[in-house]
A = this chain, B = another copy of it.
Amino acid sequence: MKLTISKNELNDAIQQVAKAVSPRPAIPILGGIKIDVNHQYVTLTASDTDISIQSFVSVEQGDKIIAQIDKPGSVVLPAKFFVEIVKKLPSDQVAIEVTGQFQTVISSGSSEIQMVGLDPEEYPVLPSVDQNQMIQIPGDLIKSMIRQTVLAASTSEQTPILTGVLWNLNEGELKFTATDRHRLASRTTKVDLDSSYHFSNIVISAKTLVELSRLIPDQNTMVDVVVADNQVLFKVDNILFYTRILDGTYPDTSKIIPSSYETELVLNTKNLMDAIDRAYLMSREEKTNIVRLTTLESGGIEISSSSTELGRVTEQLDASQMSGQPLRIAFNSKYMLDVLKVIDSEQLFIGFTGAMRPIIIRPMDHDFSMYVILPYRTTG
């Protein structure tokens, strides 16, 4: 293997795949990044077995020559050092040559780096994914859907299935659901489909989805999604992102949502968030995060929290609309803030069916998302 490549393009591709390298690889070769060179592409691959990322650098991009290939080939280079040294090389051009026994020489300007490479034949082969069925989602939409659901996924490995986000596709509606049994977030969107393609019980690690969103550029990109037996493949520009589907059956959450409410409120999202944020600061000192919401006879609501050591925060808020029974309810303010931060609507709806029943939160502008928080059982 012998080539000369633009430092910036090589560095961009390295940074993209580097996210898949584990700091504690299961087998030593996964501590490396695999480089495959042919006359069309320089391909970088990294994997921690849960996720794998491949980035393809075209040798020619339009009129521009990105890489000069003298001899195709492959090698695996230790990731940590390779990732850091390439961005610090002195020249815009980097020459890479593999000599005997995978010894690799990287030259740039007056720097010469000899690296002990590893045998690419030992690198695990990426799973092949059948591309018969595919859905396409705009990049900024999938990023929003991820951001608006991962907050409710569990962070405890005691229930691995709940650390994921459930994906269902049915009658052209794609739905994401996450819950840790104390709260739930769901987000739907319409998908253009030629066929009656559908799937259910596809659960993808929330952490992995957050990694995926970081790879999706902010400007408009289409993301291709291919769901296979035990994994999902995402294609974003020149990147392939593979992730394992979590084992297990996701719990049925459809019965949580009440059909009618005893108390209904419409509130300004930002005002509610700021008030709960201040009450949260006080509640945090008690380690409980308990904040109370009380409807007032005057038509507004009161948000309050107290700490025996510190004192008390009391906030008065106007409601845009209010109907039903008077209410006094306690909840985890951190959970509520997580929801309020991702609600993309100036006004929101909150529905209650009593102080011990789930709290339902929806944006007023659209029906695509819904959040549920279980209240705290408190005295007084």
Residues of B with C-beta under 8 A to A357: none
Contact indicator B85/A278 (Cβ below 8 Å):
yes
Residues of B with C-beta under 8 A to A274: 88, 90
Contact indicator A113/B311 (Cβ below 8 Å):
yes
Partner of A111, one of B84, B89, B278: B278
Q: Which of A83-123 contact B (CB under 8 A)?
A: 84-85, 88-90, 103-104, 110-116
A285 contacts the other chain (CB 8 A) = yes
Contact indicator B81/A281 (Cβ below 8 Å):
yes
- Interface stretch of the complex, out of A58-66, A153-161, A313-321: A313-321
A316 and B89 alpha carbons, distance in the complex (Å): 13
A24 and B277 alpha carbons, distance in the complex (Å): 25
A309 contacts the other chain (CB 8 A) = yes
A326 contacts the other chain (CB 8 A) = no
Contact indicator B313/A84 (Cβ below 8 Å):
no
Interface size class of A (residues with CB under 8 A): 20 to 34
User: What is the count of identical protomers in the complex?
Assistant: 2
Contact indicator A312/B88 (Cβ below 8 Å):
no
Task: Using known A-B contacts A310-B78, A310-B115, determine if residue A88 contacts B277 with beta carbons closer than 8 Å.
Answer: yes
Partner of A110, one of B84, B85, B114, B317: B317
A280 to chain B, nearest CB (A): 10
Listed from nearest, the 9 A-B pairs whose CB atoms lie closest are A115-B311, A114-B311, A110-B316, A114-B312, A112-B314, A116-B311, A113-B313, A84-B281, A111-B315
Cross-chain pairs A/B with CB under 8 angstroms, 20 sampled? A78-B310, A80-B285, A81-B282, A81-B285, A81-B310, A84-B281, A85-B278, A85-B313, A89-B278, A110-B315, A110-B316, A111-B275, A111-B278, A111-B313, A111-B315, A112-B313, A113-B278, A113-B312, A114-B312, A114-B313
